[in-house]
């Protein structure tokens, strides 16, 4: 029997993997008494460390750092939320009361324009966010000059930045050079330079897609969905997001095939997943939902 070339075999194996039904172990992220704090994860790194917000019984928000089963509140006198985390455990986010962005490498460091949020951080510690769109590096804020409504939404380890200019356009920025992108909005960029965003579908509604070397990979959405929002992708181009069916949010994973996340967790777990926020290169996913009827944050780990 003639052997397949190695590259064809690799492609075949990748296709089989993409079509295989995923299975996940689900872990609750906890902090203090569950009746006093709700954990709302926003991002996860390749070490399985997580950041997001803690919502307490007084409706105050505090950013958190989760690692190895332990959740630590990031101290602040103002409401904060963690929105991004790199593979060194450095957290970036913002103040909900208009005090700007922050970075947390053990001590909370505020920076950036008032009312801004940090939306991305790479492994070098460079942070992006807005409005207006900025790059923060070595203690210096660089305004990208795209206007007061612009936001930088993602950065990769090569320093490529994507975002939205606030007037219906999207951009790619690197080393001071800006290129327009053919997307309705830009959500994130991975270390391969692949960009997650939305394009106009045949029905006229926005459709999630990945922009790869000038080509679009559309993420097919079930016909019963009235809306779809993509939130994150990893270096394998796996995408997580939410569709809306009959007014109810349903988290999804797309890995070459579309999966409803509630269908790939144990049926007897007691969980109903409501939102999804991030995915790392190991395929771990974070979000929140209800566990036996109570709001809770989760990590899904592939099995």
Residue 208 lies in a domain: yes
Structural domain containing residue 140? 6-302
10 belongs to a structural domain = yes
134-156 average pLDDT score: 97
What does the pLDDT read at residue 242?
96
Question: Would 156 be classed as within a structural domain?
Answer: yes
Sheet of 140-143, strand order: 117-121, 127-130, 134-137, 140-143
CA gap 28, 291 in Å, rounded = 9
Which residue in 203, 245, 241 sits closest to 224, CA to CA?
Answer: 245
Q: Are 76 and 63 in contact, with CB atoms under 8 Å apart? A: yes
- Residue % of the chain over a pLDDT of 70: 94
Q: How confident is the model at residue 18 (pLDDT cuts 50, 70, 90)?
A: low
| pLDDT (0 to 100) of residue 203 | 73
Alpha-carbon dihedral of residues 174, 284, 274, 200, nearest 10 degrees?
40
Give the bridge partners for 82, in sequence order. 93
Residues 6+ apart with CB under 8 A from 49: 65, 66, 67, 85, 89
Above 70 in pLDDT, residue 10?
Answer: no
More confident residue, 187 or 97: 187
Look at residue 1 and tell me if it is in a domain: no
Q: Are 274 and 249 in contact (CB under 8 A)?
A: yes
Task: Tell me what pLDDT residue 202 has.
Answer: 74
In a domain, 73, yes or no: yes
pLDDT digits (tens, 9 = 90+) for 174-228: 999 999 999 999 999 999 999 999 998 777 778 999 999 999 999 999 988 888 9
Please check whether residue 231 lies inside any domain of the structure.
Answer: yes
Q: Which helix (H) or strand (E) segment is 12 a member of?
A: helix 6-19
Number of continuous H segments (helices) and E segments (strands) in the chain: 1, 28
| DSSP secondary structure letters along 216-235 | EEE----TT-SEEEEEEE-T
Q: What's the pLDDT band for 61 if we cut at 50, 70, 90?
A: very high
pLDDT greater than 50 at residue 2: no
Across all residues in the chain, what is the average pLDDT?
92
Write down the residue that tokens 């996913």 correspond to: 285
User: Mean of the pLDDT values across residues 265-290?
Assistant: 97
Q: How many domains does the chain have?
A: 1
Residue 77: give its domain's CATH number: 2.130.10.10
Least confident of 51-65, 125-139, 141-155, 272-286: 51-65
Residue at 112 is within a domain: yes
Residues 93 and 51: beta-carbon distance below 8 Å: yes
- Whole-Å CA distances, 197 to 46, 96, 171, 181, 190: 22, 25, 11, 10, 12
In the three-class reduction of DSSP (H, G, I as helix; E, B as strand; rest coil), residue 238 is classed as coil
């Amino acid at each position: 029997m003639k052997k397949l070339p190695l590259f064809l075999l690799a492609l075949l194996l990748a296709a089989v993997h993409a079509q295989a039904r995923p299975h996940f172990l689900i872990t609750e992220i906890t902090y203090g008494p569950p009746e006093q704090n709700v954990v709302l994860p926003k991002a996860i790194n390749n070490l399985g460390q997580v950041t997001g917000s803690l919502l307490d019984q007084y409706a105050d928000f505090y950013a958190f750092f989760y690692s190895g089963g332990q959740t630590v509140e990031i101290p602040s006198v103002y409401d904060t939320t963690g929105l991004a985390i790199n593979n060194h455990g450095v957290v970036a986010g913002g103040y909900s009361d208009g005090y700007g962005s922050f970075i947390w490498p053990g001590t909370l460091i505020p920076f950036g324009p008032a009312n801004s949020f940090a939306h991305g951080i790479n492994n070098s510690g460079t942070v992006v966010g807005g409005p207006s769109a900025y790059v923060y590096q070595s203690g210096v804020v660089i305004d990208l000059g795209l206007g007061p409504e612009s936001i930088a939404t993602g950065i990769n380890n090569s320093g490529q930045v994507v975002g939205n200019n606030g007037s219906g356009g999207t951009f790619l920025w690197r080393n001071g050079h800006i290129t327009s992108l053919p997307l309705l909005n830009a959500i994130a960029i991975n270390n391969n330079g692949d960009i997650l965003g939305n394009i106009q579908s045949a029905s006229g509604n926005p459709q999630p897609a990945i922009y790869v070397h000038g080509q679009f990979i559309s993420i097919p959405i079930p016909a019963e969905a009235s809306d779809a929002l993509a939130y994150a992708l990893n270096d394998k181009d796996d995408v997580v997001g939410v569709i809306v069916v009959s007014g109810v949010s349903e988290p999804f994973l797309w890995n070459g095939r579309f999966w409803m996340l509630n269908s790939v967790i144990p049926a007897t777990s007691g969980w109903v997943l409501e939102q999804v926020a991030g995915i790392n290169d190991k395929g771990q996913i974070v979000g929140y939902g209800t566990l036996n009827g109570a709001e809770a944050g989760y990590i899904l780990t592939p099995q």
